[in-house]
Amino acid sequence: MTPSDRKPDLSAQIAQAIRDAIVEGRMIVDERLPSEAELADQFGVSRSTVREALKRLAAQSLIRTQRGAFGGAFVNRLSYQEAYGQHITTSTLLLSMNDVRFETACEARYAMERACAPLAAERRTPRHLSMMRTEIERQATASLSDEDFCASDVALHRALVDAAGNPVLSYQLAGAVEAMQPLMNMITFTARSREEIVALHKKLVDALDTRDAAAADTALHSLESYTLTLGRDVLAARARRSATA
Amino acid sequence: MTPSDRKPDLSAQIAQAIRDAIVEGRMIVDERLPSEAELADQFGVSRSTVREALKRLAAQSLIRTQRGAFGGAFVNRLSYQEAYGQHITTSTLLLSMNDVRFETACEARYAMERACAPLAAERRTPRHLSMMRTEIERQATASLSDEDFCASDVALHRALVDAAGNPVLSYQLAGAVEAMQPLMNMITFTARSREEIVALHKKLVDALDTRDAAAADTALHSLESYTLTLGRDVLAARARRSATA
DNA sequence: GCTTAATAAATGTCAGACAATTAAAAGTCT
DNA sequence: AGACTTTTAATTGTCTGACATTTATTAAGC
């Protein structure tokens, strides 16, 4: 009855049928799907329609295709790498297209980072610490552009997340952290604010170094409120500009 | 040189080109893409190839299509609803296909839930509390199947996440919580274990009711370790069975 | 002015052809 | 027999052209 529940395309229906089979485990990883011609027969549609369905599934990394004899479409083992990529694309678009407030995204990001701070404090390796310290040094470089500063910030926080040693957590948080980058990029980081951030980053790494979960939590809270202040200033300045213009 | 860097299909290349335009903001929401025929001209390919590219984008909810005169493909505003759906599908598959250990998924899930507990304690409305209490009552019903018990568990935890009042956080966590369900479904909940879980759920809701973030955190910690125990028992039993078989 | 019919633009689907790729099978030479 | 080469068959990738279906606009008729 609603305008959106009209029957979808044949290719969408077929894609959904195969997707269900994969998600419900009726088809297992690396299993070969019937050839396009066979699928066309089975579903009673043309090969073009089947191909469109398969392309939909390929776009979600559910299948991969191989040409040639004994080729075909195979159920794809979804790798963390592929899942990361999709999650980041989706999260970035979700934020940019829905006018998500800076405060909201910032809050979500730091809430999630705090979630992995205790685990990171427990499990961080020397490699994690040195990676984070390398980024902090880079951030102290005066000649760094705002964009590069942001990128380094993301790299540091990514290291924090990875230090928790839980790939599922890393996957889930990658989207939140990376998707924030475009929002962060609109901030102009003054020399003063960079100093402040670098100091807080140092506190954070030192806390992880000494396995002090509480101190790490505090550092992240400080970082959140400071980032929030910076973001608010930018938005306020922008609002003033548009009011006078 | 690696086997994977061979040039992808034309339809994949075209999809990527359009995807870049959308992600980078060169095409804005609700903007109409050229017709399939025009795109075929522009890219110098046939209409079929263009269609396959568009289906890829549609599978990611990046575009929607409308038939008829003045129809065509339009840049789609990615809704939270669509993003949820994709995130859940991806997360579920990632977990089921990569032999993620129960412990890992469980840890990630509760770490993220604890992240929103303080916000939920602050912002929960009476509606959230009553929703959670309704689910707890249902969980105390002896006749409930294991599957329904799990579903109610997910509903309760979903309410907890939503109580944090941050849609971005809700989106990110939906995947983690829902993707756990298949793993949880393998657990047989005895009457004794259900009592225990219901008691912990009550503690959690009471903590939110009194806006006691620390108590909520404690309840979630207890829930995590208890869930972990249940999961480990199941896995141990399964290991015994397969050893004797 | 309102209703209805024609129109045109677009996507959806189909059929058939050929190109490109690739693993297996068959053939050939030493 | 074994190593190398050629052929073959299966399968995906791409193109062309046609027709069906949908739908907003336009025109016609009353």
Amino acid letter, residue A76: N
Q: What are the Cα distances from residue B101, in Å, to A82, A84, A117, B189, B194?
A: 19, 19, 21, 19, 23
pLDDT band with cut points at 50, 70 and 90 for residue A80: very high
Of residues B161 and B189, which shows the higher confidence score?
B161
How close, in Å, is residue B99 to chain A by CA atoms? 11
The partner residue sitting opposite B56, judged by closest CB among A55, A77, A173, is A55
B146 phi, psi to nearest 5 deg: -60, -40
CA closest to C1' of C9 belongs to B69
pLDDT at B3: 40
Give the CA A7 to C1' C12 distance in Å.
13
Q: Which residues pair with B75 in a beta bridge?
A: B63
A7 Cβ nearer than 7 Å to chain D strand:
no
**Which among A175, A182, A140 has a CA at the least distance from the CA of A158?**
A175
User: A3: Cβ–Cβ under 8 A, 6 or more apart, which residues?
Assistant: none
| CA dist., res. A206 & res. A119, Å (int) | 15
CB < 8 Å to B56, chain A: 55-56, 58-59
Mean pLDDT of A145-171: 92
Give me the residue label for tokens 């017709």: B35
The sign of the CA dihedral B113, B119, B121, B123 is: negative
Q: Given this model, what pLDDT does residue A220 score?
A: 96
Where do we find the tokens 């590069």?
A148
- Residue B48 contacts strand C, CB under 7 A: yes
Gap between the Cα atoms of A9 and A172, Å rounded = 32
A2 band by pLDDT with thresholds 50, 70 and 90: very low
Q: How many separate helices (H) and strands (E) can be counted in chain A? A: 10, 2
Token readout for B17 is 């080109």
Provide DSSP, A166-197: -HHHHHHHHHHHHHHHHHHHTS---HHHHHHH
pLDDT above 60 for B141: yes
Query: What's at B50, amino acid-wise?
Result: V
pLDDT one-digit tens code per residue, A81-138: 899 989 999 999 999 899 888 899 999 999 999 999 999 999 999 999 999 999 999 9
B139 contact to strand D (CB, 7 A limit): no
CA distance B123 to chain A (A): 14
The minimal CB distance from B171 to the residues A94, A119, A167 is found for A94
Mean of all residue pLDDT scores within chain B: 91
Q: Which of A48, A92, A172 sits opposite B172 (nearest CB)?
A: A172
Structural domains in chain A? 9-75 (1.10.10.10), 83-244 (1.20.120.530)
| Residue B35 CB lies within 7 Å of the nucleic strand C | yes
Confidence at A6, pLDDT banded by 50, 70, 90: low
pLDDT at A241 over 80: no
Does A175 have pLDDT greater than 90? no
Task: Please list every residue in chain B whose beta carbon sits closer than 8 Å to the beta carbon of residue A57.
Answer: 59
A198 touches strand C (CB under 7 A): no
- A23 contact residues in B (CB cutoff 8 A): 89, 92-93
Contact A153, A226 (CB under 8 A): no
Instruction: Mean pLDDT check: name the lowest of B82-86, B184-188, B197-201.
Output: B184-188
Cα atoms in the Cβ-side hemisphere of radius 13 Å centred on A240: 6
